[in-house]
A and B are shown apart, each in its own frame.
Chain A
């Protein structure tokens, strides 16, 4: 039943850009070519539908990477069943051009510790990278794969979205966690805090990825559109794409930095597009270790804040030098986020590796700010 995973994956692919379509009429085998065309379709639709994507993503899933939500929303049972099949099918896709899409499968994936707590953010990013190295021939923005252990691990990662009471053991890929996942409704991490309806909006995401091959920057600069290369100034190619509107720094070692995206999925998609450009120029580019390095969010509490009071009472966390910078710099310890708080009520949050950190930081600071509201 090699086909079982595919129909699941297809709606997931398209769901990235469009409202979840009805399941494909034929639950049957998809050929390799169909896979490829779906991939192309996806990329094109993403390019066309990008306006839709950003407003939807926070609604859909503010915390858990998008794919995991869909994984649960779609048939969890089938997903579970497809579990053993994936390992068989992985071999079948060797002939497909995988070079720029799937991340490497390694046996170590099974041993990767996976967290369930939303607070253990470092582990989150760590677990996401090995999970991205799974043999899925189809394009997906899902951070996880359908490997047996990772699947259940992914389910345990779904739990962060649940209320804090649910804290499943991360290591055990058991059916308990899976059934739990299928039963418990997936509650996205509540961005709507108890006290206010303000949700920080993501403004910028910086991510890195390893293309894992040496690159000839001159060749890239000559053949690629929208590429700048000035070896005397800086040893990297600066490339830009319009959709998602991002900038990438591509180094000759094969490492790449992607900035300017407004959501995690967009950052990943943009990085993949850059990787594709490099691949089309003839380099054996891969997509290893995609990691979000920094996320910046901003919001407005809509009342003026008396910063002098805040800096006095939270001295050990804040520094306020108005002649240097008009905002107060607040270094929150848990989560480790830096907030720039302005008199007007605007708040900028930076230093997050996960969306949840931004929301959590804002929830923590909001009552404090209310205490210093300037009437």
Chain B
């Protein structure tokens, strides 16, 4: 369970110091990617230095959130696996957990197909890859697609899930991310752009063993298999992306616009967070920078949990432990 506003999770004792820094670094970069790259402010100063501190804190918080959510997800997947009587956590288990949210499931499926497609192409280019593939048996093509299709076929009662395969409508969230990236990159110079591209290439799937250790897979009885790990890495990435998307929305909301009819009705809890001792230091000092603050992240999570509002008692059953998964 994420604890807001209290001490940050101390991962240095958990994993080696260098690892934690690296993972933080990854989160930093991921946050940077999604937006926080401090752009030129009004005075034309490139405020990277200034934003370093909250950037770090935000990254730490984001990492905390992602970590907790993934561990929870893994636990639930393990339970599903156990129900089936399987010995490993397979991608089917993760797909099962995601069955409720069609949009996110579709995004995951698209990702899996792109992964298949990319390995097919890269195989055709490199001679050695071609041999490797032939040697390992030619049933590797579209492996993930087959897994997904077979599984959804088996659980689909109403035909909705299978309809997703043919569905070609635009993914708005992805569209928005692409547009945001395009806007950002348009004003960058080539050095900044190179750095930006590099940070975009970071992912949780690059250092698979570190990722596994970070999730503490070895202490689990049922472990995920290779494709399941790929999906988990993708879900971690998606969680960060969702957090940033939501935090940006929150930040946008915080700016009171002239003529906004609801500016007087900002929720009380939000103001409370905004004024709380913990976040004032961070927010107040860096109020002029464009970086995402930890307070934005916390507010985003709070809103996402649906614990407030008239319908909160009737929200989703699989959030029984109070954790609202951002990625699924």
Determine whether B201 belongs to the interface, using a CB cutoff of 8 Å to chain A: yes
Q: Is the beta-carbon distance between A308 and B182 smaller than 8 angstroms?
A: yes
Q: Could you tell me the distance in whole angstroms from the C-beta of A340 to the nearest C-beta in chain B? A: 7
Q: Is the beta-carbon distance between B194 and A304 smaller than 8 angstroms?
A: yes
Q: Could you tell me the distance in whole angstroms from the C-beta of B130 to the nearest C-beta in chain A? A: 6
A324-B114, A325-B118 known; A306 and B178 CB under 8 Å?
no
A308-B178, A324-B114 known; A236 and B189 CB under 8 Å?
no
Determine whether A204 belongs to the interface, using a CB cutoff of 8 Å to chain B: yes
Give the interface centre of A307, A308, A338 by most chain B CB atoms within 10 Å.
Answer: A308
Interface string of A281-313 (1 = CB under 8 A from B): 000000000000010100000001011110110
Interface locus among A15-23, A53-61, A315-323 = A315-323
Determine whether B87 belongs to the interface, using a CB cutoff of 8 Å to chain A: no
Give the interface centre of B179, B184, B185, B202 by most chain A CB atoms within 10 Å.
Answer: B185
Q: Is the beta-carbon distance between A236 and B186 smaller than 8 angstroms?
A: no
A304-B190, A308-B178, A374-B193 known; A326 and B201 CB under 8 Å?
yes
Determine whether B125 belongs to the interface, using a CB cutoff of 8 Å to chain A: yes
Interface string of A226-256 (1 = CB under 8 A from B): 0000000110101000000001010000000
Chain B, Cβ-Cβ closest to A351: B124
Contact of B197 among A203, A249, A325, A343 (CB under 8 A): A343
Chain B, Cβ-Cβ closest to A203: B125
Interface string of B115-145 (1 = CB under 8 A from A): 1011001101111001100110000000000
Q: Is the beta-carbon distance between A247 and B131 smaller than 8 angstroms?
A: yes
Which residues of the other chain, B, contact A326 by a CB distance below 8 angstroms?
197, 201
Contact of A312 among B126, B178, B203 (CB under 8 A): B178
Determine whether B237 belongs to the interface, using a CB cutoff of 8 Å to chain A: yes
Determine whether B181 belongs to the interface, using a CB cutoff of 8 Å to chain A: yes
Determine whether A260 belongs to the interface, using a CB cutoff of 8 Å to chain B: yes
Q: Is the beta-carbon distance between A340 and B121 smaller than 8 angstroms?
A: yes
Q: Could you tell me the distance in whole angstroms from the C-beta of B143 to the nearest C-beta in chain A? A: 15
A319-B114, A322-B200, A323-B202 known; A306 and B124 CB under 8 Å?
no
Determine whether A150 belongs to the interface, using a CB cutoff of 8 Å to chain B: no
Residues 197-222 of B contacting A (Cβ, < 8 Å): 197, 200-203, 205
Interface string of A351-375 (1 = CB under 8 A from B): 1000000000000000000000011
Determine whether A68 belongs to the interface, using a CB cutoff of 8 Å to chain B: no
Chain B, Cβ-Cβ closest to A313: B182
Q: Is the beta-carbon distance between A308 and B181 smaller than 8 angstroms?
A: yes
Determine whether B4 belongs to the interface, using a CB cutoff of 8 Å to chain A: no
Which residues of the other chain, A, contact B190 by a CB distance below 8 angstroms?
304, 374-375
A249-B134, A309-B186, A312-B182 known; A350 and B125 CB under 8 Å?
yes
Determine whether B273 belongs to the interface, using a CB cutoff of 8 Å to chain A: no
Chain A, Cβ-Cβ closest to B120: A338
Q: Could you tell me the distance in whole angstroms from the C-beta of B196 to the nearest C-beta in chain A? A: 9
Which residues of the other chain, B, contact A204 by a CB distance below 8 angstroms?
125-127
Determine whether A270 belongs to the interface, using a CB cutoff of 8 Å to chain B: no
Contact of A306 among B125, B179, B186 (CB under 8 A): B186
Per the bound structure, the CA–CA distance linking A294 and B118 in Å amounts to 16
Which residues of the other chain, A, contact B181 by a CB distance below 8 angstroms?
308
Determine whether B111 belongs to the interface, using a CB cutoff of 8 Å to chain A: yes
Determine whether A329 belongs to the interface, using a CB cutoff of 8 Å to chain B: yes
Contact of A234 among B135, B178, B185 (CB under 8 A): B135
Per the bound structure, the CA–CA distance linking A232 and B60 in Å amounts to 50
Q: Is the beta-carbon distance between B193 and A238 smaller than 8 angstroms?
A: no
A204-B127, A374-B190 known; A324 and B121 CB under 8 Å?
no
Q: Could you tell me the distance in whole angstroms from the C-beta of A264 to the nearest C-beta in chain B? A: 16
Q: Is the beta-carbon distance between A234 and B124 smaller than 8 angstroms?
A: no
Which residues of the other chain, B, contact A322 by a CB distance below 8 angstroms?
197, 200-201
Per the bound structure, the CA–CA distance linking A152 and B197 in Å amounts to 54
Q: Is the beta-carbon distance between B114 and A375 smaller than 8 angstroms?
A: no
Per the bound structure, the CA–CA distance linking A260 and B188 in Å amounts to 40
Which residues of the other chain, B, contact A149 by a CB distance below 8 angstroms?
none
Which residues of the other chain, B, contact A324 by a CB distance below 8 angstroms?
111, 114-115, 118, 203, 205
Which residues of the other chain, B, contact A319 by a CB distance below 8 angstroms?
114, 117
Q: Is the beta-carbon distance between A306 and B200 smaller than 8 angstroms?
A: no
Which residues of the other chain, A, contact B121 by a CB distance below 8 angstroms?
329, 338, 340, 350-351
Q: Could you tell me the distance in whole angstroms from the C-beta of A371 to the nearest C-beta in chain B? A: 12
Q: Could you tell me the distance in whole angstroms from the C-beta of B214 to the nearest C-beta in chain A? A: 17
Write 25 A-B pairs (CB below 8 A) sorted by A numbering.
Answer: A204-B126, A206-B124, A206-B130, A238-B131, A249-B131, A249-B134, A259-B127, A296-B124, A296-B125, A306-B185, A308-B178, A308-B182, A311-B178, A312-B179, A312-B182, A319-B114, A321-B118, A324-B114, A325-B118, A326-B197, A329-B117, A374-B188, A374-B190, A374-B193, A375-B190
- Which 5 A-B residue pairs are closest in the complex by CB-CB distance? A323-B203, A322-B200, A308-B181, A308-B182, A234-B135
18 new A-B contacts, CB < 8 A, other than A312-B179, A324-B114, are: A204-B127, A206-B130, A247-B127, A249-B134, A259-B127, A294-B124, A306-B185, A308-B178, A308-B184, A312-B178, A319-B117, A321-B111, A324-B111, A324-B203, A324-B205, A326-B197, A343-B194, A351-B124
Q: What residues of chain A have their CB less than 8 Å away from a CB belonging to chain B?
A: 203-204, 206, 233-234, 236, 238, 247, 249, 259-260, 294, 296, 304, 306-309, 311-312, 315, 319, 321-326, 329, 338, 340, 343, 348, 350-351, 374-375
